């Protein structure tokens, strides 16, 4: 089955949902260009989610994707939080921050009955999930609207699990990918492999269409992914400089600089491994560490450091999420980036 048939789209190009750096505008632009635009909801409360969904529904009559996280919220651990804040004490002192006065972080919300209720008013053609899938009852509700469900796999085992639990298509997320790794069956990072290795292995093991993600930055990358057996691609980093994205000026500057050549996985910013451009926090405390509280609780302690540093124009404590290949980043409208990527489809044919 092609993505064209499964999702009702013209081009098998999915704009990766990217919480924190985009809202409805990017999704609308890509869907209207014939790809599949995505609205990330992990950082949106119910009201903001309703508003953004209304904007997408008004902005395009084409299919679009709505994306959620599916993590199990952790129980707060006061001892771990205190130890983490103690580890960050020199930074708090440097910026004049009282660690006892830091509020709980905005965090990230998993898909819930409340979110399903709101989503039901819009019935998007596609709903995608990161960190596994929601529980069976909630998933059945999403499917009852006729929505196609997409899950994200970082290993062959996760792909097989997602297909067995009802995914209609699978994003195979290679190690090159920017942002959070979708890893959910294990926390062993030695299981994580690159896109070129992952895609053909997943294609061999599942019957549903596979969407390649990670390091795909231009039309040649798209052609390569299709040659490996992918039915389509999911591209994130290459859209980060588009005017429709809400990427901060600091993040944009980092993406445009030579610093973008050096990314790493870090769990310091949210508690889960995510790929970003190396910054001072990652260099001096990590980039990986056993100390941060569980996802998404780790966001709280970093937030005031990020705010203080950003006020001075520095990304030293910011999530500068990026994949390993930022060469596709262009300050061009998202429709143009999509059309450029689409040249790889014709090349593959």
Ligand X SMILES: Cc1cc2nc3c(=O)[nH]c(=O)nc-3n(C[C@H](O)[C@H](O)[C@H](O)COP(=O)(O)O)c2cc1C
Q: Is 232 in the site for ligand X (CB under 6 A)?
A: no
Check if the beta carbon of residue 150 is closer than 8 Å to that of residue 36: no
DSSP string, 66-92: EEEE-PPPPPP-HHHHHHHHHHTHHHH
Q: Which of residues 64-123 bind ligand X (CB under 6 A)?
A: 67
Q: Residue 16: helix, strand or coil by DSSP?
A: coil
Of 13, 16, 265, 341, which one interacts with ligand X (CB under 6 A)? Answer: 16
Other Cβ atoms closer than 10 A to 200? 17
Minimum distance from residue 82 beta carbon to ligand X (Å): 29
Strand locations in the chain, DSSP E? 13-15, 37-40, 64-69, 126-130, 148-153, 169-173, 179-180, 210-213, 232-235, 263-266, 274-277
Q: Per-residue x/- marks for ligand X, 150-189, CB under 6 A?
A: --x--------------------x--xxxxx---------
Minimum distance from residue 73 beta carbon to ligand X (Å): 16
Nearer Cβ to ligand X, position 22 or 91? 22
Minimum distance from residue 94 beta carbon to ligand X (Å): 27
Of 30, 147, 216, 342, which one interacts with ligand X (CB under 6 A)? Answer: 216
Q: Residue 5: helix, strand or coil by DSSP?
A: helix
Q: Per-residue x/- marks for ligand X, 116-145, CB under 6 A?
A: --------------x---------------
Q: Is 42 in the site for ligand X (CB under 6 A)?
A: yes
Nearer Cβ to ligand X, position 184 or 321? 321
Q: At 310, list the tokens.
A: 């950003």
Q: What separation in angstroms does the CA of 5 have from each of 2, 115, 125?
A: 5, 27, 12
Of 49-57, 231-239, 260-268, 285-293: span binding ligand X (CB under 6 A): 231-239
Instruction: State the distance between the two ends of the chain, measured CA to CA, in whole angstroms.
Output: 16
Of 12, 40, 63, 315, which one interacts with ligand X (CB under 6 A)? Answer: 40
Minimum distance from residue 78 beta carbon to ligand X (Å): 28
Q: Which residue is nearest to ligand X (CB)?
A: 236
Longest pairwise C-alpha distance within the chain: 60
Nearer Cβ to ligand X, position 85 or 275? 275
Phi and psi torsions of 241, nearest 5°: -95, 0
Which residues of the shown chain bind ligand X in the complex (CB under 6 A)? 16-19, 21, 40, 42, 67, 130, 152, 173, 176-180, 213-216, 234-237, 321-323, 325
């Amino acid at each position: 089955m092609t993505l064209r048939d499964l999702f009702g789209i013209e081009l098998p190009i999915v704009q990766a949902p990217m919480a924190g750096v985009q809202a409805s505008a990017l999704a609308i632009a890509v869907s209207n260009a014939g790809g599949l635009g995505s609205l990330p909801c992990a950082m949106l409360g119910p009201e903001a989610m309703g508003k953004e969904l209304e904007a997408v529904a008004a902005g395009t009559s084409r299919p679009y994707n709505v994306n959620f996280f599916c993590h199990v919220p952790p129980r707060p651990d006061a001892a771990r939080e205190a130890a983490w804040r103690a580890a960050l004490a020199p930074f708090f002192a440097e910026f004049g921050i009282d660690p006892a006065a830091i509020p709980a972080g905005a965090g990230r919300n998993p898909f819930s009955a409340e979110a399903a209720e709101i989503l039901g008013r819009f019935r998007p053609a596609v709903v995608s999930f990161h960190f596994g899938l929601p529980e069976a009852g909630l998933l059945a509700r999403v499917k009852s609207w006729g929505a196609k469900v997409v899950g994200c796999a970082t290993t062959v085992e996760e792909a097989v699990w997602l297909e067995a639990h009802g995914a209609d298509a699978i994003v195979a997320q290679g190690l090159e990918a920017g942002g959070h790794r979708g890893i959910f069956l294990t926390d062993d990072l030695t299981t994580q492999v690159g896109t070129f290795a992952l895609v053909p292995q997943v294609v061999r093991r599942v019957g549903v269409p596979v969407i390649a993600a990670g390091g795909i930055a231009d039309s040649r990358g798209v052609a390569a992914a299709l040659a490996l057996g992918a039915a389509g691609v999911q591209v994130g980093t290459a859209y980060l400089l588009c005017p429709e994205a809400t990427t901060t000026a600091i993040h944009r500057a980092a993406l445009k600089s030579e610093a973008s050549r050096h990314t790493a996985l870090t769990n310091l910013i949210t508690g889960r491994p995510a790929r970003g451009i190396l910054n001072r926090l990652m260099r001096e405390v990590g980039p990986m560490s056993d100390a941060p509280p569980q996802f998404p609780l780790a966001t709280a302690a970093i937030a005031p450091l990020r705010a203080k540093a950003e006020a001075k124009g520095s990304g030293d404590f910011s999530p500068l999420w990026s994949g390993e290949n930022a060469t596709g980043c262009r300050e061009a409208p998202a429709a143009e980036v999509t059309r450029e990527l689409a040249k790889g489809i014709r090349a593959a044919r």
